[in-house]
Structure 1
Amino acid sequence: MPVALIWLIAALVFAGAEALTGDMFLLMLGGGALAASVSSWLLNWPVWADGAVFLIVSVLLLALVRPVVRRRLNSGKAPVMGIKALEGRKALVLDRVAHDEGRVKLDGQVWTARPLNEGDVYQPGQSVTVVHIDGATAMVFGSE
C-alpha cells in the first residue's frame, strides 16, 4: 500500500473522529496528515520527511488556525428565547393599568399587566416598558 494512501486514510480517520469530539484538535491533525499525504504523493519523499511535514503542518494548524476557528464558532451569544425575550420591550397600554387591573399590547399580543410599583397608574395610549413577566402577566414601568 502506498505511503500517500496511508496518510490519506489517517487524515480521514482524524476528521471522522473530530465529529465525535468537536474540539477542533483532531481536525488539525487531519490537516497535517492530508498535507503529508499530498507531499508523499507529489514529492515521493522518504517516510521520515512525510512525518516531518505532518508534524510541522499540524503544529501550525493548531497554533494559528484552531484558535481563530474556535473563536468564530463560539463567538455568538445564545439568543434570548421565550418570555425572557419580552423583558425590556415597549408595550402600549390598552386598558388602565393599576394595582388589580390592566391590559397592554406587547409584541402584537394582548397581555394582562400590573404596574411594577403598587401605586403607579398608567392610562390607555401610554407607553410602558415590560420589566418582568410573571406567569401571563406583564409587570410594567412607565417609560415616558
Structure 2
Amino acid sequence: MAAWVVWMVLAVVFGVAEVYTLTAVLGLLGGAALLTSGAAAIGLPLPLQLVVFALASAAGLLAIRPIARRHLHQPQLQRFGIDALIGRKAYALTEVTVRDGTVRIGGEEWTARSFADGVVIPPGATVHVMQIDGATAIVYPEE
C-alpha cells in the first residue's frame, strides 16, 4: 500500500475521532496527517514524512489550538430564551400577588407572581421581570 494512502486513512481516522471527542486535538492531527499524505504523494521518504507530520502537528497544537480554545470559551454576548426576559419591563394585565396574576412581556402573556410577599401589583402597573420560574414570571413593581 502506498504511503500517501496510509496517511490519508490516518487523517480520516483522526477526523472521525474528532467528531466524537470535540477536543480540536484530533482534528489538528488529522490535518497534519493530510498534509503528510501530500508530502508522501510527491515522493518524500518516510523519515521526512515523519518530520512533516511532527512539524505540522506541533504547529497546529501550539498555534491553532489556543486560538480555537479562546473562541470556544468566550462569554455569550447575547441572552436568549427566558434569560433575555430577565430585567425587561412588563405590564400587569390582572392583579399580581404572591400567588397569581398575569403580565404582558413584549407582546406575550405570562402568568406572574409578585417578587415580595405582601406586595400586590394593580392591573396596568409597570413591573420589572426579576426571574422566570418555569412558565411564571416573578415580577417587582416599578416605583
Greater share of residues in strand = 1
Q: Which residues of 2 match residues 90-101 of structure 1 at below 5 A?
A: 90-98=89-97
CA RMSD of aligned residues (A): 2.8
Q: Which residues of 2 match residues 68-87 of structure 1 at below 5 A?
A: 68-75=67-74, 77=76, 81=81, 86-87=85-86
Superimposed CA distance per residue, residues 113-133 of structure 1 (whole angstroms, 9 cap, x where no aligned partner): 443234434333321012234
Unmatched tracts of structure 1, length 5 or more: none
SS in 2 for 1:23: coil
Match of 2:36 in 1: 36
How many Å separate the matches in 1 of 2:7 and 2:98? Answer: 73
TM-score normalised by L of structure 1? 0.77
Match of 1:110 in 2: 109
Match of 2:3 in 1: 3
Q: Which residues of 2 match residues 114-125 of structure 1 at below 5 A?
A: 114-125=113-124
Task: State how many pairs are aligned.
Answer: 142
How many Å separate the matches in 2 of 1:40 and 1:136? Answer: 60
TM-score normalised by L of structure 2? 0.77
Determine what percentage of the aligned residue pairs are the same residue: 38
Task: Quote how far apart the aligned CAs of 1:74 are.
Answer: 4.3
Contact 2:99–2:114 (8 Å) recurs in 1: no
Contact 2:98–2:115 (8 Å) recurs in 1: no
Task: Quote how far apart the aligned CAs of 1:35 are.
Answer: 1.2
Distance 1:124 1:27, change over 3 A: same
How many Å separate the matches in 1 of 2:34 and 2:10? Answer: 8
Answer yes or no: is 1:138 the counterpart of 2:140. no
Answer yes or no: is 1:60 the counterpart of 2:51. no
How many Å separate the matches in 1 of 2:33 and 2:72? Answer: 23
Superimposed CA distance per residue, residues 35-77 of structure 1 (whole angstroms, 9 cap, x where no aligned partner): 11111222x2211001000000011001111222233344364
How many Å separate the matches in 1 of 2:6 and 2:137? Answer: 64
